[in-house]
Amino acid sequence: MSGGMLTLRAWRDPILVAISLVALWQVLHEIAGDSAVTAPAPTLAHLWEMIGQARFLPHLRETSLAFLQALAIACGGGVLIGVVLGGHKLTGEVAEPILVALYSVPKITLYPVILLLFGLGMPAKVAFGALHGIIPVVLFTMNAVRNVNRTYLRAGRAMRLTPAQTGWYVLVPATLPEIFSGLRIGFSLTLLGTMLGELFASQRGLGFLLMTAIDLHDVKTILSIAVLISIFAIAANAALLAIDKHLHRGAAPEVSGKP
């Protein structure tokens, strides 16, 4: 099959999904009326107008900054902790069930604790976002390091690689695909955590705008912001997924299935 066909096929599905979602939105609008769901075209126009407004930008910047800092902590810290837990067997065995239990608990209940520790504002949002994102990164990294094929390490020793060379030429390529999958999930969860943090007891940011819009019954603004966040999330996820597939291309096919 030619490359042109492939890209056409790759673009066809997302475009069809986007079209059908907008159609579904229009149908919902027809059923529910303007007071519950505003129509796509005016909402998107409203979104475009809002992005141009000076009073909107500080909120957008606040949320983006909180998200980026949280993401940096979740990825950096998660990979570091994951490497330690994966490299040392007993530590990993001790920590894994605790991490898994923490993963499936509603972490929102811990948000007041974080607010008390960090105070209202940016640090609490960053901490809460990072708390959501870091666990999958740790779990994926830990498994990646644990499952490095011993033969590769032995081959490295046979070729007398220095520890630094072993790390760069053996460990990094062997673990990168799995770690990247973890980072992709960490990305989504960090975004979720940051948004949750802004929806409760916040004075700035997109979440704050959402909550004030409820009081004003401003459906257009609610939908605009929700759509803006969703478009960002889906686009970023698609890009990360493409890189993820590219990285996994050379690896053995997975048996265990989706995480």
Phi-psi region for residue 201, left (φ > 0), alpha (ψ -120 to 50) or beta? left
User: In this chain, which of 188, 204, 247, 248 binds other proteins, going by CB under 8 A?
Assistant: 188
Residue 94 touches other proteins, criterion: CB under 8 A: yes
26 touching other proteins, by CB under 8 A = no
Per DSSP, the three-state class of 241 is: helix
Asked if residue 68 binds other proteins (CB under 8 A), the reply is: no
In 3D, which of 185, 69, 64 has the Cα closest to residue 124? 69
**Which of 19, 93, 120, 157 touches other proteins by CB under 8 A?**
93
Considering beta carbons, is residue 122 or 218 the nearer one to other proteins? 218
The upper half-sphere exposure of residue 170, i.e. CA atoms within 13 Å in the direction of its Cβ, equals 22
- For residue 221, the minimal CB distance to other proteins (Å) is 9
Told to check if 214 binds other proteins by CB under 8 A, we report yes
Q: In this structure, how many other beta carbons lie within 10 angstroms of the beta carbon of residue 178?
A: 25
Residues 224 and 47: their CA atoms lie apart, in Å, by: 5
CA distance 228 to 232: 6
Which residue of 150, 160, 217, 249 would you call a contact of other proteins, by CB under 8 A?
217
- Which tokens is 3 given? 């490359």
- Tell whether the torsion through CA atoms of 167, 145, 102 and 228 is positive or negative: positive
Does 97 participate in binding other proteins (rule CB under 8 A)?
yes
Quick one: 39 or 201, whose CB is closer to other proteins?
Answer: 201
- Structure token digits, residue 222: 């609610």
Contacts of 95 (CB under 8 A, 6+ apart): 85
Q: What is the torsional sign of CA 104, 106, 109, 113?
A: positive
Exactly one of 6, 41, 51, 113 binds other proteins (CB under 8 A); that residue is 113
Residue among 41 and 94 whose Cβ is closer to other proteins: 94
Among 8, 41, 155, 241, contact with other proteins (rule: CB under 8 A): 241
* Gap between the Cα atoms of 111 and 96, Å rounded: 23
Q: Which of 8, 27, 41, 116 binds other proteins (CB under 8 A)?
A: 116
CB-nearer residue toward other proteins: 60 or 226:
226
Point out which residues bind other proteins (CB under 8 A): 13-14, 16-17, 20-21, 32, 35-37, 90, 93-94, 97-98, 101, 104-113, 115-117, 187-188, 191-192, 195-196, 199-201, 206-207, 210-211, 213-214, 217, 219, 222-223, 225-226, 229-230, 233-234, 236-238, 241, 257-258
